[in-house]
């Protein structure tokens, strides 16, 4: 299927196994069409979560296809292990608890490289959002944690209670695009002076009071603050950059990279990465001739990101902000120098 010309065309994609009740993988048909799993192929799902995408890839890659399933969250890996134990999967799902930043190392170590496809479905799962004790949600009261891997790094409470107010405001502005970042940071500073802010409910209340309640708003006033803290707590933008670089290393020629992003900060990173990796030249625009010797390693499959259909958004509101970008690994031929050398190539812009 040509995703470039038929972004919504998903008819003819392989049969999709039913998801767990209450858990809906986003852009599932589009992702399957993008990865086009084949029997016997090797795929890496860097974000197993509830396993909806992994199970669909396994089904489409039968017989013989393998899925290496990563997740930083031990609960997601426990779900993956249950799925792997299902005889219908016949040893074809390999769960590994790891940060997807290290996907190239893990894929090589597990003997799965080169890969026919890599999927990253970014952000948090509905399981994590619905678990009060993980501290991701303002609608429950729980500890202010927000780590995907609860055994590594520092909980969000450390940032909320430890950062100087100017740094906290910068963080909320940069990662949450929160226009009232300064006012929120000042309110947090006042409140934490009384007692450390260690629960989601208290933080949500402090933010709501600082920005003036939720009357007339579509989203909770603490939405951007929670997003910013989650991104910073898990270094989400940094690990995404490392994962993209690693994916290009371990994809086989013709292998596909599919990334589902949920906000503009992560989508911008994916877009720029694919732009750069698919360009013939990455010289600064002021140079009259190309001197960079850059070789494209990816070809864009989606020129514009794919979005959920209105039907999917109605069935699963979480899909509203999802955008899928797809690229294909070029083979050695595409990377080989041209006869007339670097200057013979176009500027690629
Ligand atoms: C949106 S969910 C994936 C849902 C999944 N595609 C499905 O169909 O159920 C994202 C998952 O990625 C995991 N995750 C987020 N960042 C990660 C990282 N840097 N390394 C590994 N796993 C990560 C989260 O723990 C979560 O389980």
Looking at the structure, do residues 221 and 267 belong to the same domain, yes or no? no
| Cα–Cα dist 147/158, whole Å | 12
Both tokens of 315, joined, read 């069935």
pLDDT at 4 over 50: no
Task: Say which residues have a Cβ less than 8 Å from residue 84's Cβ, sequence separation at least 6.
Answer: 69, 91, 93, 94, 95
* Structural domain range at position 217: 149-233
The first and second tokens of residue 244, run together, are: 């993209």
pLDDT for 134 equals 96
Cα 123 to ligand 1 centre (Å): 6
Q: Specify the CATH number for the domain of residue 215.
A: 1.10.150.170
Look at residue 16 and tell me if it is in a domain: no
308 is a domain residue: yes
Look at residue 18 and tell me whether its pLDDT is greater than 50.
no
Residue 64 sits in the same domain as residue 92 = yes
Q: How far is the CA of 211 from the centre of ligand 1 (A)?
A: 31
Same domain, 33 and 78: yes
* d(C-alpha 129, C-alpha 139), whole Å: 9
Task: Tell whether the model's pLDDT for residue 15 goes beyond 80.
Answer: no
Kindly state whether residue 12 falls inside one of the protein's structural domains.
no
Q: How far apart are the C-alpha atoms of 234 and 82, rounded to whole Å?
A: 26
Cα(37) to ligand 1 centroid in Å equals 20
Inside any domain, residue 1: no
> Which pLDDT does position 13 carry in this prediction?
40
Distance separating alpha carbons of residues 93 and 59, to the nearest angstrom: 11
Residues with CB under 6 A from ligand 1: 23, 25, 47, 49-53, 70-73, 76, 99-101, 121, 123-125, 148, 239
* pLDDT tens-place string over residues 137-157: 998 999 999 999 999 999 999
Q: Is 339 annotated as a binding residue?
A: no
Whether residue 242 sits in one domain with residue 228: no
In this structure, are strands 323-329 and 306-307 parallel, antiparallel, or unpaired?
Answer: antiparallel
Shortest-distance Cα residue to atom 9 of ligand 1? 50
Sign of the torsion formed by the C-alpha atoms of 125, 251, 101 and 292: negative
The answer on 313 and 170 residing in a single domain is no
Number of domains composing the chain = 2
Q: Which long-range contacts (CB under 8 A, 24 or more apart) does 83-92 make?
A: 83/51, 83/54, 83/55, 89/58, 92/58, 92/61, 92/62, 92/64, 92/65, 92/66, 92/67
Confidence band of 6 (pLDDT split at 50, 70, 90): very low
> For the chain, what percent of residues have pLDDT higher than 90?
79
My answer on whether 39 and 175 are in the same domain is no
Q: What is the token pair recorded at 207?
A: 């933010």
- 275 alpha carbon to ligand 1 midpoint, in Å? 24
Contact partners, residue 236, CB within 8 Å, separation at least 6: 122, 230, 266
- What pLDDT is recorded for position 333? 54
Write the pLDDT tens digit of every residue in 159-178.
999 999 999 999 999 999 99
Q: Which of 321, 323, 324, 318 is nearest to 23 (CA)?
A: 318
Q: Which residues contact 241 (CB under 8 A, 6 or more apart)?
A: 269, 273
Residue nearest to atom 15 of ligand 1 (CA): 123
**Could you read off the pLDDT of 117-129 as tens digits, one per residue?**
999 999 999 999 9
Segment among 106-110, 198-202, 302-306, 336-340 with least mean pLDDT:
336-340
What stretches of 177-331 show up as alpha helix (H) in DSSP?
181-194, 200-211, 223-233, 236-250, 264-278, 310-315
Q: Is the pLDDT of residue 1 over 70?
A: no
21: pLDDT strictly greater than 60:
no
Which atom of ligand 1 lies nearest, measured to the CA of 23? 9
Domain boundary among 209, 233, 257: 233
* Domain assignment of residue 289, yes or no: yes
pLDDT given at position 10: 35
Q: What's the pLDDT tens digit per position in 208-260?
A: 999 986 666 678 899 999 999 999 999 999 999 999 999 999 999 999 999 99
Does residue 102 share a domain with residue 36? yes
Once rounded to an integer, what is the mean pLDDT over residues 302-316?
Answer: 95
Q: What is the arithmetic mean of pLDDT over 16-34?
A: 77
Q: What is the pLDDT of residues 70-87, one digit of tens each?
A: 999 999 999 999 999 999
Residues 55-69, mean pLDDT to the nearest whole number: 97
Partners of residue 257 on adjacent β-strands: 118, 327
Higher pLDDT, 112 or 334: 112
List the CATH number of the domain containing 71: 3.40.50.150
Q: Are residues 283 and 229 in the same domain?
A: no
Helix (H) or strand (E) holding 324: strand 323-329
- How far is Cα 102 from Cα 126, in angstroms, rounded to an integer? 24
Please indicate if the annotation marks 52 as binding a ligand: yes
Are residues 252 and 116 in contact, defined by beta-carbon separation less than 8 angstroms?
A: yes
Both 121 and 243 in one domain: the answer is yes
SS3 1: coil
Residues 103 and 33 in one domain: yes
How do residues 258-291 score in pLDDT, each as one tens digit? 999 999 999 999 999 999 999 999 999 899 899 9
Neighbours of 309 (CB within 10 A): 15
Residue 20: the pLDDT is 52
334-342, Cβ contacts within 8 angstroms, sequence gap of 24 or more = 334/295, 334/296, 334/297, 334/299, 335/295, 335/296, 335/297, 336/295, 337/295, 342/290, 342/291, 342/292, 342/293
Q: By alpha-carbon position, which residue is closest to atom 5 of ligand 1?
A: 49
User: Measured in whole angstroms, how far is the alpha carbon of residue 87 from the centre of its chain?
Assistant: 29
**Above 50 in pLDDT, residue 41?**
yes
Average pLDDT of every residue of the chain:
89
How far is it, in rounded angstroms, from Cα 238 to Cα 295? 24
In a domain, 21, yes or no: no
Helix (H/G/I), strand (E/B), else coil: 199: strand
Question: Does one domain contain both 308 and 260?
Answer: yes
| pLDDT value for 332 | 75
**For residue 217, what pLDDT is reported?**
66
Domain termination site, one of 233, 264, 299: 233
Domain for residue 143, yes or no?
no
Asked if residue 137 is part of any domain, the answer here is no
| 166 and 92 in a common domain | no
């Amino acid at each position: 299927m040509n995703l470039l010309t038929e972004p919504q065309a998903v008819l003819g994609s392989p049969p999709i196994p039913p998801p767990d009740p209450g858990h809906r993988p986003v852009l599932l048909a589009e992702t399957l069409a993008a990865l086009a799993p084949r029997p016997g192929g090797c795929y890496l799902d860097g974000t197993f979560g509830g396993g909806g995408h992994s199970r669909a890839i396994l089904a489409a890659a039968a017989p013989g296809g393998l899925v290496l399933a990563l997740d930083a969250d031990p609960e997601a890996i426990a779900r993956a292990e249950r799925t792997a134990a299902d005889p219908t999967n016949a040893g074809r799902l390999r769960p590994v608890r790891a940060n997807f930043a290290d996907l190239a190392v893990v894929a090589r170590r597990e003997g799965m490289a080169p890969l026919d496809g890599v999927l990253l479905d970014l952000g948090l799962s509905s399981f994590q959002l619905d678990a009060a004790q993980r501290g991701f949600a303002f609608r429950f009261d729980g500890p202010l944690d927000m780590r995907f891997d609860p055994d590594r790094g520092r909980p969000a409470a450390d940032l909320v209670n430890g950062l100087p107010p100017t740094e906290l405001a910068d963080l909320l502005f940069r990662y949450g695009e929160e226009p009232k970042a300064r006012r929120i940071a000042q309110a947090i500073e006042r409140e934490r002076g009384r007692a450390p802010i260690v629960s989601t409910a208290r933080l949500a209340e402090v933010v709501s009071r600082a920005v003036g309640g939720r009357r007339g708003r579509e989203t909770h006033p603490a939405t951007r603050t929670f997003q910013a803290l989650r991104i910073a707590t898990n270094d989400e933008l940094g690990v995404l950059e490392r994962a993209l670089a690693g994916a290009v290393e371990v994809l086989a020629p013709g292998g596909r990279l599919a990334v589902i992003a949920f906000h503009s900060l992560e989508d911008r990173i994916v877009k720029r990465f694919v732009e750069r990796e698919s360009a013939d030249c990455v010289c600064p625009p002021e140079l009259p001739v190309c001197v960079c010797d850059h070789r494209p390693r990816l070809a864009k499959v989606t020129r514009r990101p794919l979005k959920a259909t209105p039907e999917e958004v109605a069935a699963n509101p979480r899909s509203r902000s999802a955008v899928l970008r797809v690229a294909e690994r070029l083979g050695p031929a595409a990377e080989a120098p041209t006869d007339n050398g670097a200057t013979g190539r176009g500027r690629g812009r």
